[in-house]
Amino acid sequence: MTETEDLLRELAPQVLGALVRRHGQFDACEDAVQEALLVASQRWPVDGVPENPRSWLLTVANRRLVDAFRSESARRRREEADVVLRPVDPEALPDRDDTLALLFMCCHPSLSPPSQLALTLRAVGGLSTAAIANAFLVPEATMAQRISRAKQTIRGSGARFDLPPPGERAERLRVVLHVLYLMFNEGYTASAGPSLRRGDLTVEAIRLTRMLHDVLPGEGEVAGLLALMLLTDARRDARTDDEGMIVPLAEQDRDRWDRDQIDDGVALITRTLGTTLVGPYQLQAAIAAVHDEAPSADETDWPQILALYEVLEQVSPGPVLTLNKAVAVAMVDGPRAGLALLGTLDDDQRMATTHRLQAVRAHLLEMAGDLQGARASYLRAAEKTASLPEQRYLALRAARLS
């Protein structure tokens, strides 16, 4: 990512927030900002970054907004909505960052999770529709329709451009954190396609979560999510070999892990645990910290990890947690014990569409010495995933057991 792209992503929510606070009309303002970002991406690399880039973007976006409202159809919509377009003096606008209000608006409960994610990436992350479509392997037209419908839903909901009232803030923050968590996970391990990861999504998820933490430093789960992202992303360079094949955690070269990022994540979760009500992101970060601090796979403190999973199960139970806990149980009590726990998920319909249950079962069967059963499970897992790197990895594991 270039310095210009970094700057535009940083300024995008600030400019959008200023326009929306001034005029309302989130959908029209967001379109205008996207056009201003496009112009800037074309001109700044040639002409140079202006002395006041925020004011430059505000001026261009406001001109686009004026042009839009001058059309006949826009005039009718403006009359119906009783909206008055007022000229914007960029220098007269308060120097405030409305990114947090934008983030809460994009994660409005009236939107579906996919729409929340897409709108967050575009309005707050500054990603183009084409970039978002590429990340989720859908046609650009499909993603454009999804974003357009999301903006219409926001407009129809009557959502106010401000932080939610205290009585709603905790629940809305939970949704915001979930969207950022989904964004990071999709970037770290893409659900489909030729690449294992999508770095633009992980970078953006970390950036937005760090921004959220800067604004809400006392929220333990915000700190926990940021720590979890840092501790997980620190392993990214060791996850594949020189040929692009997946390298499982136990076999990774830990010298390739980002130690500065691990130190930051460990320090963050150490400062946070015990100071606020413990939530699932803090506990997941603590588990990641145990993995990252182990000098080798053999020296991993699996009893501590299992104990943390036991606590996490009380806080946030679910099939994915059971899946991960089964590995910890296998490492502490043996693979048969882990397989027994996995068996409780066989009738859980939430696991029917994922390859991960079969992949973990294959791993534990291999640990238990049932090579034939492991091979069959690896092949079943390979058939279930749409990720080409995971397909190759699982098929190779099966081939090695032939």
Per residue in 167-211, pLDDT tens? 778 888 888 898 899 889 888 988 877 888 888 889 889 988 998
Q: How many CB atoms lie within 10 A of CB 68?
A: 19
pLDDT the model gives residue 225: 98
The stretch 327-338 carries a mean pLDDT of 98
Q: Is the pLDDT of residue 1 over 70?
A: no
Q: Does residue 88 register a pLDDT over 60?
A: no
pLDDT score at 164: 77
Structure confidence by residue, pLDDT tens digits, 135-145: 776 888 999 99
pLDDT in tens, 279-288: 999 999 999 9
The whole-model pTM stands at 0.81
- Structure-model confidence comparison of residues 101 and 333, the more confident one: 333
Give CA torsion, residues 113, 279, 164, 6, to 10 deg: -70
> To the nearest 10°, the Cα dihedral for 186, 335, 282, 198?
-20
Query: What is the structure's pLDDT at 124?
Result: 83
pLDDT confidence of residue 96 = 61
What is the average per-residue pLDDT within 106-126?
85
Rounded distance between C-alpha atoms, residue 77 and residue 90, angstroms: 25
